[in-house]
């Protein structure tokens, strides 16, 4: 059960809810954020619900009974599918949002070129990592804040809002000061302090599925973010580890409708990191759109042969028109329109 406190509720009101629940033999955990306070309750729900009138306590706005372990992100909590806005660009059930860009920000020229490529591919958001979670400690780790500055310059020039990864709790405020959406990657899906930190950052979050995580674990990870008051979350299926070695990961296409049925949050697909091969990106993009994904996120690079990260999966110039055409032609068949890129002036 979740008790949502009113905007004008006092700390004492929330403490009173806890006291009442504990008195009745239940447990309560208060989660305070800038925008709202939530009290999560566990224990014998049938008995607590029958004996307590929590909705009548001072400062209580809503009491929600939910049976799944992820509550705020569940469809039991919110029936309608959510629309998340990233720098004004919607991601939700009526649109197909394409996010594209280089795996890593390398230079201003490479990032700007990749952003124009992203636009040519029909993208309305630009991706690019300044902090890279690399399996090898000897691999390129990203440009850090210098990379964020490049992204901000490229946004000003192209009008594309930016999505970029944060790997360390200590960097959340810095990354949030530049980014329109923060990405939490597969390796950090269960980094709980990081999830809590991005839950308080005030920007939308893209949460990639852990490569060995079940859908339930993925949704519970999203709940960590939501519990801190941030319900602006987009889930991203990016492939899971299986016995199969022909692809980098196995795209779990069924995760899209399953997660959409369990959660009101938008679900997008990353065909680049799942297949790990350029020749699979367009076929997997078709599959993602056909299955009902709310968007796709793809790697593009002007010169993949010299890319510092993930060159083999990056789309090249000659692929872009086809990606744009796949998105434009398939979207109406699944009741969607491709999200247009914002005008450059919109960001100024």
264 binds ligand PEP, rule: CB under 6 A: no
Considering the complex, what minimum distance in angstroms separates the CB of residue 181 from Mn ion? 16
Q: Say if CB 192 and CB 169 are below 8 A apart.
A: no
Q: Say if CB 234 and CB 181 are below 8 A apart.
A: yes
Q: Is 338 exposed, middle or buried (0-12, 13-18, 19+ CB in 10 A)?
A: buried
CB neighbours of 38 closer than 8 A, spacing ≥ 6? 2, 3, 4, 5, 30, 31, 72, 227, 229
* Helical residues (DSSP H) of 106-237, grouped into ranges: 108-120, 145-158, 172-178, 192-199, 215-227
Can you count the helices (H) and strands (E) in the chain? 11, 15
Among the residue ranges 2-10, 93-101, 182-190, 338-346, the one whose residues contact ligand PEP (CB under 6 A): 182-190
Among the residue ranges 54-62, 136-144, 181-189, 261-269, the one whose residues contact ligand PEP (CB under 6 A): 181-189
For 60, the 3-state DSSP assignment is strand
Residue from 89, 103, 115, 201 binding ligand PEP (CB under 6 A): 103
Number of residues that bind ligand PEP (CB under 6 A): 10
106 binds Mn ion, rule: CB under 5 A: no
Q: Which does 238 bind (CB under 5 to 8 A by kind): ligand PEP, Mn ion, none?
A: ligand PEP
Residue from 102, 122, 129, 302 binding ligand PEP (CB under 6 A): 129
185 binds ligand PEP, rule: CB under 6 A: yes
Considering the complex, what minimum distance in angstroms separates the CB of residue 284 from Mn ion? 15
103 binds Mn ion, rule: CB under 5 A: yes
Rg (alpha carbons) of the chain, rounded to whole number: 21
Considering the complex, what minimum distance in angstroms separates the CB of residue 208 from ligand PEP? 4
211 binds Mn ion, rule: CB under 5 A: no
Binding site for ligand PEP (CB under 6 A): 103, 129, 133, 185-187, 208, 238, 270, 273
Contacting residues toward Mn ion, per CB under 5 A: 103, 310
């Amino acid at each position: 059960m979740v008790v949502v406190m009113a905007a004008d509720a006092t700390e004492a009101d929330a403490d009173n809810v806890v006291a009442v629940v504990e008195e009745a033999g239940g447990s309560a955990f208060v989660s305070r954020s800038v925008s709202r306070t939530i009290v999560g309750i566990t224990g014998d729900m049938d008995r607590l619900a029958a004996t307590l009138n929590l909705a009548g306590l001072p400062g209580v706005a809503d009491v929600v009974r939910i049976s799944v372990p992820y509550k705020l992100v569940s469809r039991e909590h919110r029936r309608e599918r959510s629309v998340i806005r990233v720098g004004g660009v919607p991601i939700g059930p009526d649109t197909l949002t394409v996010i594209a860009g280089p795996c890593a920000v390398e230079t201003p020229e490479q990032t700007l070129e990749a952003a124009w490529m992203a636009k040519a591919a029909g993208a309305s958001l630009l991706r690019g990592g300044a902090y890279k979670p690399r399996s090898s400690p000897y691999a390129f780790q990203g440009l850090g804040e210098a990379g964020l500055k490049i992204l901000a310059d490229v946004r000003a020039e192209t009008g594309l809002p930016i999505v970029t990864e944060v790997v360390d709790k200590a960097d959340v405020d810095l990354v949030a000061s530049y980014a329109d959406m923060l990405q939490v990657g597969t390796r950090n899906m269960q980094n709980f302090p990081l999830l809590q930190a991005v839950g308080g950052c005030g920007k939308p979050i893209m949460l990639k599925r852990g490569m060995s995580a079940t859908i339930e674990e993925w949704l519970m990870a999203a709940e960590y973010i939501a519990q801190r008051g941030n319900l602006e979350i987009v889930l991203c299926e990016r492939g899971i580890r299986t016995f199969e070695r022909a692809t980098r990961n196995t795209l779990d296409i069924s995760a899209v409708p399953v997660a959409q049925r369990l959660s009101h949050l938008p679900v997008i697909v990353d065909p680049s990191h799942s297949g790990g091969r350029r020749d699979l990106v367009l076929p997997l993009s078709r599959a993602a759109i056909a299955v009902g994904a709310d968007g796709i996120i793809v790697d593009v690079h002007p010169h993949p042969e010299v890319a510092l990260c993930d060159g083999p999966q990056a789309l090249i110039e000659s692929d872009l028109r086809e990606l744009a055409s796949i998105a434009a032609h398939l979207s109406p068949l699944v009741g969607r329109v491709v999200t247009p890129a914002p005008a450059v002036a919109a960001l100024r």
